[in-house]
Amino acid sequence: MPLLEMKDVYLHFGGIMALNGVSFGVRKGEIFAIIGPNGAGKTSIFNCISGLYHPDRGKIIFKKKEINKLSPHRRAQLGLARSFQNIELFKGMTVIDNLMLGRHIHMRTDLITGGIFFGKARREEVRHREVVEEIIDFLEIQNIRKKPVGTLAYGLQKRVELGRALALDPNVLLLDEPMAGMNAEETEDMARFILDINEERDVTIVLIEHDMGVVMDISDRICALDFGVKISEGRPDEIQSDPKVISAYLGGEEVV
């Protein structure tokens, strides 16, 4: 039984079919990559899973529960976290505050206890601050923890966004092009973080990425998409040798 499953999902924008009957299942503990040319519908899948888009037809099942009707914040509470293709951090806030927002669903402070602050709210702040600091250590961003996110370099912002998603303590982490626009060293770091998150924290990862080298190296299974249709699914070596993938996505050339 897959942990996260798309069953025959259709989504259209006007006359364009963004998703045309897409189905796949992500098993617990794996790194599952979604690849495809630009406009294939990869990010649309993520938006359907996290609840920003509502599919016309089909089911999205997470932890044996149909989540189609749930609002995005309920899905986050269930254990779904994601990062965005274009960084969606809270730019005016510091790195710590951004990560603390990731802890939002695990905290209870409300307008009354928060307004009093001393006592309950402060204890909770400290407790979750410890969790956040642990993530800061893990991602090696100690030196920028008090900086407003908007002032950071692009690669670091990507890392902070990963940290914020991680702070939710999710079961499934959706990463939308985490390596986009990074240099070789940053890409390598990011790949290492993803593997560590997967292995040490036991987080299932769904990954959209254009860097084929990374995708083939770190993913357990891959799903290839073209014009909203799934054209192939399988282990990296199977995908590499699939003629449909090669012609649709790689233009007939050999995969790295």
Partner 1 sequence: MQQCGIFHETYTEDMAIFQTPFSRFWMGLFFVFLAIFPFISKPINAVLGTNTLYLANLIGIYIIGAHGLNLLTGFTGQISLGHGAFMGVGAYASAILTMKLGIPFLIALPLAGLITAMVGMVFGIPSLRLKGLYLAIATMAAQFIIEYAMRNWTTLTGGSAGMSVRPPSFFGFYIDSDRSYYYLIYVFVILATIYTKNIIRSRPGRAFVAIRDRYLAAEVIGVNVWLYRILSFGISSFMVGIAGGLWAHYVLVISDEHFVIWLSVQYLAMIIIGGMGHVMGGIYGAIFMVLLPELLRIPEHYLTVINPNAFAIFHSLRDGVFGLIIILFLIFEPDGLAARWHTIKNYWKLWPFSY
| Residue 63 engages partner 1 in binding (rule: CB under 8 A) | no
| Residue 119 engages partner 1 in binding (rule: CB under 8 A) | no
Rounded to the nearest angstrom, the gap between the alpha carbon of residue 63 and the centroid of all alpha carbons in its chain is 17
Instruction: Specify the stretch interacting with partner 1 by CB under 8 A; choose among 12-20, 32-40, 107-115, 221-229.
Output: 107-115
| Residue 100 engages partner 1 in binding (rule: CB under 8 A) | yes
Q: Which residues of 69-95 are buried (b: 16+ CB within 10 A; e: fewer)?
A: ebeeeebbebbbbbbbeebebeeeebb
Of residues 149 and 214, the one with the C-beta less far from partner 1: 149
Q: What is the CA radius of gyration of the chain?
A: 19
Of residues 1 and 111, the one with the C-beta less far from partner 1: 111
Angle, helix 154-167 to helix 95-102, in steps of 10 degrees: 30
Angle, helix 154-167 to helix 120-139, in steps of 10 degrees: 130
| Residue 84 engages partner 1 in binding (rule: CB under 8 A) | yes
Instruction: Specify the stretch interacting with partner 1 by CB under 8 A; choose among 34-42, 125-133, 175-183, 189-197.
Output: 125-133
∠ CA 48-157-190, rounded to 5°: 80
Which one among 1, 14, 15, 115 touches partner 1, defined by CB under 8 A? Answer: 115
| Residue 71 engages partner 1 in binding (rule: CB under 8 A) | yes
| Residue 134 engages partner 1 in binding (rule: CB under 8 A) | no
| Residue 97 engages partner 1 in binding (rule: CB under 8 A) | yes
| Residue 181 engages partner 1 in binding (rule: CB under 8 A) | no
* Joined tokens for residue 175: 């990463």
d(CA 115, CA 103): 19
User: Which residues, including other chains, have CB under 8 Å from residue 44's CB and lie 6 or more apart?
Assistant: 11, 18, 19, 53, 228
As measured in angstroms, the least distance from the Cβ of 98 to partner 1 is 9
| Residue 92 engages partner 1 in binding (rule: CB under 8 A) | yes
Which one among 8, 56, 66, 110 touches partner 1, defined by CB under 8 A? Answer: 110
| Residue 1 engages partner 1 in binding (rule: CB under 8 A) | no
d(CA 13, CA 76): 25
Residue numbers at the binding site for partner 1 (CB under 8 A): 50-52, 71-73, 76-77, 81-82, 84, 88-93, 97, 100-102, 104-105, 107-111, 114-117, 121-122, 124-126, 129-130, 133, 164-165, 168
